[in-house]
Amino acid sequence: MDYRLYRKWRSWGRGVKEKLNLTGRRSRAVRIWFAEVFLQRQLFGLSSFRWLIHLLIFWGFAALLFLSLALFVFKPLDLLGIDWGLSRFFLKGAGHLFIKIWGDVFGLMLLLGLAAAGIRRLFFRPAQQVNDQLDVFLLVYLVWMTLSGFGLEGLRLMQVPQEVARYSFVGQFFMPAGAYAPAELTWWLTVCWSIHAFTGAALLFYLPHSKLMHSILSPLVIGLNAIEEQERKDLYWPEIAKHRPTGLPRA
Amino acid sequence: MAGNSKAQADRIAQGLTWRQLVELEACTRCGECQVWCPVYAQDKREALCARGKLEALRRMVDGTMPEQGQTEFLNSLYECSACGQCHVVCPVRINTPTLWEQARQSLAKAGIRQPESQLKLLSVIKEFDNSYGKPQEKRGRWAELAWEEGFLLKPLTLWRDKPSSFLYFAGCTASFDPAMQAVAVQSARLLQEAGVEFSILGEEEPCCVGKLRRMGDGAFPEEARKRVAQFENLGIREIIVSCAGCYKGLNSDYTGLRLWPEGQRIIHLTQMIERLILDGCLSPRFEVPIKVTYHDPCHLGRHNQIYDEPRRILGAIPGLKLVEMPRHREFSSCCGMGGGLNVAFRELQYKMSASRIREAEATGAEAVVTPCQTCYKGLLNGVEQTSSRMQVLHLNELLIRSLCPEATGARITEAFARHIPS
């Protein structure tokens, strides 16, 4: 991923450099950026169904990525015996329950978003949609990643008391039936973690080659253009769907 | 299959900005541009919509575009009126019209040839300083004829003889095209009716060279700089423009290059007239009992956000009823006259304008009104194509009918025709 991104960065560097005039424009540009990136206002205007799908996937994916990155920092600290208040709170304190809820809420959002995207892609099939094999592959890949995450969570829940496990309100449905010896569980946990981690790492490597690249570049472009677009006050249209050419599907 | 060469790819990329190169990869491929594209609506090829063009241009700058794809991409890049509809609907806000213009310039610089008809027009503009290939001495003739024929309240003064607060910039079409000279005459008459003191440049009026930018001629910045220097030397600070294309050139393009000095104002005639009506300097008084629909020119609307002023002017005309087409304001469907499309692909322009005329007819209006002379001509093509009974009117014409009916377009054209040597 890094090398591919580096190559892209070099490639963009061939272009003419521009100076952005930010004087007196920052706050409005930030507001536009927030509305368009975090709330995806334009998409809401185009189709509330598409907006819901994209928002579920966007927030679900972003929040789970954030959780993974946070744990990527906390875990090694814990293993190295470094007692940092924040990592102690989230790994061993009350914050642990918060992590369980966070993971399940956003995991569920991602799963619902992906399911809806699949339904739209396979059943609604809007005329303008490109539906090639790589798009379907990416969708299946993300579903697999989410399910493997829940599977891993289900195994972890086997090691914690029921009063803790109930906070993983989705993960508990993925708990395997029966009783297992701790050594057996550890082996399965290692396998499942490896699969999930490998899937995640592979996605990061695949990202610059896929349409998911827009997840990095779109917010960047929206941010860069927002500085100029604030002067064109009516470029964003919440009622855009009203003007849609007739005879075309809405979804 | 081998792609285009690395050297060519680098040359193309070097002509785009860093941000535009990022934009090529930021496309989510959602296809919203395809839904709204007025060109795609006529010829359903993926290469024509913004998504197709972005992907093709990305491959061109990556050096992975096969030869066959290059030809298709080049055609699609010029089969585009750069109307900006894809920009408005894009959830990522990719600034497509600017990108297409910059890409045309970059490709030309990289030695990739553009349509012959466009090249011919560009050389005419550079040689004659107007897009009609006529001698500049004739540019101010409309003003002399208008006075001689009694269409003006007083003769128009040349800036070099008597500078005023405002310069009226007529543009090439209204200055040279016999069918459109009425627009220049009526614009001047309306300003006179309101008591506005203004001058014209006459034969010194240059072409705004906006077409150079639209069709990707690399000489545009230098030519634009020369014109700004000319205006500065003459002490011109406020320019009233009646042509939407000139307004886009002088207002958006020159400003984009940061050429104007602080405080320079470019005013479109509709902005000026609306102000004059609000201030009570201009009061449409005669009834014009007609039901019209308004066509937003891309260069005024999507490119410069002038939507309300023309509608408020129409609202001020007694007896006139305005009905909107389903696609209006930001979603106004392009008539196909912009971006050099009509120069290179006339048949496509006919189809696009025909489609717009059918949309206008469906509103039940008797006439479609526009403040742009280029759209006016384009829509007339649509009327011809569809054998429609729909009238096409310039906004000036309706105002004139309500203010000074002796200066209607038909009378001006008829009177001017008498002066054309047979």
Distance (Å, whole) CA A234 – CA B306: 11
User: In Å, what is the CA distance from A32 to each residue of A226, A231, A236, B132?
Assistant: 6, 11, 9, 44
Q: Report CB contact under 8 Å: A15, B330.
A: no
Q: What average pLDDT does the segment B244-273 reach?
A: 95
Give the nearest partner residue to A15 out of B16, B28, B88, using CB atoms: B16
What tokens appear for B4 in the block? Answer: 């285009």
Q: What average pLDDT does the segment B327-343 reach?
A: 93
pLDDT at A248: 47
Cβ-contact B323, B390 below 8 angstroms:
no
Q: What is the pLDDT of residues B28-50, one digit of tens each?
A: 999 999 999 999 999 999 999 99
Q: Report CB contact under 8 Å: B29, A211.
A: yes
Long-range contacts of A207-216 (CB under 8 A, 24+ apart): A207/A1, A208/A1, A208/A4, A208/A5, A208/A8, A209/A4, A210/A134, A210/A138, A211/A134, A211/A135, A211/A138, A211/B28, A211/B29, A212/A138, A213/B25, A213/B26, A214/B25, A214/B26, A214/B27, A214/B28, A214/B29, A214/B92, A215/A58, A215/A61
Domain locations along chain A: 48-213
pLDDT at B313: 98
Q: Report CB contact under 8 Å: B13, A244.
A: no
Helix segments in B159-307, DSSP class H: 171-176, 181-193, 210-214, 220-233, 244-247, 254-256, 269-278
Residue B247 has pLDDT above 90, yes or no: yes
Q: What average pLDDT does the segment B229-245 reach?
A: 97
* A-B contacts at Cβ under 8 angstroms: 119
Structural domains of chain B sorted by starting position, each given as residue range(s) with its CATH number in brackets: 6-114 (1.10.1060.10), 118-276 (3.40.50), 284-410 (3.40.50)
| CA nearest neighbour of B393 among B366, B413, B361, B355 | B366
Residue numbers of A between 111 and 150 with CB closer than 8 Å to B: 126-130
Q: What is the pLDDT of residues A162-175, one digit of tens each?
A: 888 899 999 999 99
Position with higher pLDDT, B405 vs B93: B405
Nearest residue of B to residue A250 by CA position? B35
What tokens appear for B225 in the block? Answer: 């700089």
Q: Is A19 on the interface with B (CB under 8 A)?
A: no
Distance (Å, whole) CA B188 – CA B174: 11
Helix pair B395-403, B409-417: axis angle to 10 deg: 100
Q: Report CB contact under 8 Å: A11, B62.
A: yes
Position with higher pLDDT, A161 vs B142: B142
- The confidence band for B13, taking pLDDT boundaries of 50, 70 and 90, is very high
Give the nearest partner residue to B19 out of A18, A42, A129, using CB atoms: A18
Q: Report CB contact under 8 Å: B32, A221.
A: no
pLDDT at B99: 96
Q: Is A87 on the interface with B (CB under 8 A)?
A: no
Q: What is the pLDDT of residues B376-397, one digit of tens each?
A: 999 999 999 999 999 999 999 9
Give the nearest partner residue to A214 out of B26, B34, B87, using CB atoms: B26
pLDDT at A42: 82
Task: Please tell me whether residue B158 adopts helix, strand or coil conformation.
Answer: strand
State the SS3 of B188-218: HHHHHHCCCCEEECHHHCCCCCHHHHHCCCC
User: How much of chain A exceeds pLDDT 90, in percent?
Assistant: 39
| pTM, to two decimals | 0.90
Give the nearest partner residue to B27 out of A214, A222, A240, using CB atoms: A214
Residue with tokens 């545009």: B220
Chain A contact set for B10 (CB, 8 A): 14
User: In Å, what is the CA distance from B11 to each residue of A17, B61, B102, B117?
Assistant: 15, 8, 13, 24
Distance (Å, whole) CA B35 – CA B15: 29
pLDDT at A133: 81
Q: Report CB contact under 8 Å: B16, A16.
A: yes
Cβ-contact B164, B191 below 8 angstroms:
no
Cβ-contact A63, A106 below 8 angstroms:
yes
pLDDT at A249: 43
Which residue out of A9, A14, A131 would a mutagenesis test of the B interface target, given it has the greatest number of B Cβ atoms within 10 Å? Answer: A14
Q: What is the pLDDT of residues A21-57, one digit of tens each?
A: 777 777 877 888 888 889 988 888 888 899 999 999 9
Q: What is the pLDDT of residues A193-237, one digit of tens each?
A: 999 999 999 988 888 888 888 988 999 998 888 777 766 655 666
Highest mean pLDDT among A122-126, B253-257, B272-276, B325-329: B272-276
Indicate if ipTM > 0.90: no
Distance (Å, whole) CA A194 – CA A187: 11
Nearest residue of B to residue A41 by CA position? B91
Chain B contact set for A13 (CB, 8 A): 18
